[in-house]
Amino acid sequence: MTNELDIFVGNTTLIDEDVYRLWLDGYSVNDAVALRVRSGILEQTGATAAVLQSDTMDHYRTFHMLERLLHAPPKLLHQLIFQIPPSRQALLIERYYAFDEAFVREVLGKKLSKGTKKDLDDISTKTGITLKSCRRQFDNFKRVFKVVEEMRGSLVDNIQQHFLLSDRLARDYAAIVFFANNRFETGKKKLQYLSFGDFAFCAELMIQNWTLGAVDSQVDDMDVDLDKEFLQDLKELKVLVADKDLLDLHKSLVCTALRGKLGVFSEMEANFKNLSRGLVNVAAKLTHNKDVRDLFVDLVEKFVEPCRSDHWPLNDVRLFLNQYSASVHSLDGFRHQALWDRYMGTLRGCLLRLYHD
């Protein structure tokens, strides 16, 4: 006796959160059943393994049917086939678009292309996340990217509107889209200590200040592409390190202000020129796409690592950066104050976030 056919359809679609998670995690029906058995559900409910199997299959089928709708969440809201309470709909969407930290770190900043998709096998092996789940997450990134890539208006708002995600998740996706579009390198060994959250934080600052949308809210791609003109202008900052007088003046201003306030004052004094050169050169190089991609590598190499090797406490870094950017205003010969603030304001935020072990 075998069950040839076995279905259960409720007027209100039954969603089992635990099974949904197993499905999202890419487990096969049999693995999911095994995992559920291990969770002790049989003892709690007095059910048999066969019942569990049938239940799991049913849920999997439902999820499979829902998946098509989840690809365009507004459809899920308007469709008539599944009657699902709004709170459950939100849960379905949110969970479907949620991603694993380990996975996102692997693909962050990579081109969301077929080539990358082929590497998912390796990512799966490396992270221990099932290939199926990797694919779902990758496809989510790609889908969101495709939809909002060329849209005008705020990136976060667009994502929220088209995918009905929570604010938090929409911000994360904005970061993913931003990184994918600008292809920032995040995979280098040096950068391994950074979390997705660190990058997402930086992305948000950069979107707010460095993109086209920061100047004009009526352009296409406004939040996705960096403001090219701004990047061109950044070359002007070079004078801060190229002009020896200006550099010395800047150094003395900073040192005077910080004397006695920094635990690592002498190290700072000794390194000032190197650090300043590093930061300004990063800015000046951003005209080239290649260097834009290496932004985070450069920041870590030129600033984070030197400071870390001298054991700067975070607070000293903060004091230094504040003073470093503020002192420029007192340099009479320097004419690009606004540009400096737009650059340094964001960079300071990023550096502070990136500065940890």
Query: Which of 30, 39, 49, 51 contacts another protein by CB under 8 A?
Result: 51
Specify the stretch interacting with another protein by CB under 8 A; choose among 73-81, 125-133, 139-147, 320-328: 73-81
Q: How far is the CB of 7 from another protein (least distance, A)?
A: 4
CA distance 121 to 135: 9
In whole angstroms, the minimum distance from the beta carbon of 125 to another protein comes to 29
Determine contact, residues 342/205, Cβ cutoff 8 Å: no
CB atoms within 10 A of CB 337: 11
The residue (of 14 and 255) whose beta carbon lies closer to another protein is 14
Q: Which residues pair with 83 in a beta bridge?
A: 12
50 binds another protein (CB under 8 A): yes
CB of 214 to another protein, least distance (A): 34
- Considering only 30, 39, 45, 217, the residue that binds another protein (CB under 8 A) is 45
What is the full DSSP assignment across 186-198?
Answer: --SGGGGG--HHH
Using CB under 8 A, pick the residue from 20, 26, 55, 276 that binds another protein.
Answer: 55
67 binds another protein (CB under 8 A): no
The set of residues, in sequence order, having a beta carbon less than 8 Å from that of 175 and lying 6+ positions away, is 196, 199, 200, 203, 204
* Tokens encoding 126: 């490396």
- Report the C-alpha gap between 28 and 33 in whole angstroms: 9
Contact residue for another protein among 38, 43, 86, 332 (CB under 8 A): 86
Residue 78 C-beta: closest distance to another protein, Å: 7
By CB under 8 A, tell whether 82 contacts another protein. Answer: yes
Question: Least distance in Å: CB of 15 to another protein?
Answer: 10
Q: What is the per-residue DSSP string for 302-317?
A: IIIHHHHHTT--HHHH
In whole angstroms, what is the distance from residue 55 CA to residue 49 CA? 10
Interaction pattern, residues 101-120, with another protein; x per rule: CB under 8 A = --------------------
Q: Which of 30, 49, 67, 75 binds another protein (CB under 8 A)?
A: 75
218 binds another protein (CB under 8 A): no
Size of the site for another protein (CB under 8 A): 38
Put residue 341 in one of left, alpha, beta given phi > 0 → left and psi -120 to 50 → alpha: alpha
Measured between its terminal Cα atoms, the distance across the chain in Å is 61
Residues 6 or more apart in contact with residue 221 via CB below 8 angstroms: 149, 150, 151, 152, 212
Which residue matches tokens 């770190």? 105
How far is 139 from 112, CA to CA, in rounded Å?
Answer: 9
315 binds another protein (CB under 8 A): no
Stretch that binds another protein, among 82-90, 95-103, 151-159, 284-292 (CB under 8 A): 82-90
Q: Are 104 and 123 in contact (CB under 8 A)?
A: no
Residue 150 near another protein by CB under 8 A: no
Task: Rule CB under 8 A: choose which of 28, 54, 127, 281 binds another protein.
Answer: 54
164 binds another protein per the rule CB under 8 A? no
Instruction: Specify the stretch interacting with another protein by CB under 8 A; choose among 46-54, 106-114, 202-210, 348-356.
Output: 46-54
Query: Which residue in the set 29, 34, 47, 239 belongs to the binding site for another protein (CB under 8 A)?
Result: 47
| Residue 40 binding another protein, by CB under 8 A | no
As a whole number of angstroms, the distance between CA 27 and CA 129 comes to: 10
Tokens 């834009």, located at residue:
292
Closest CA to 241 of 289, 282, 291, 210: 282
Stretch that binds another protein, among 12-20, 32-40, 131-139, 265-273 (CB under 8 A): 12-20
Which residues bind to another protein, rule: CB under 8 A? 1-14, 45-48, 50-52, 54-55, 57-58, 61-62, 64-65, 75, 78-83, 85-86
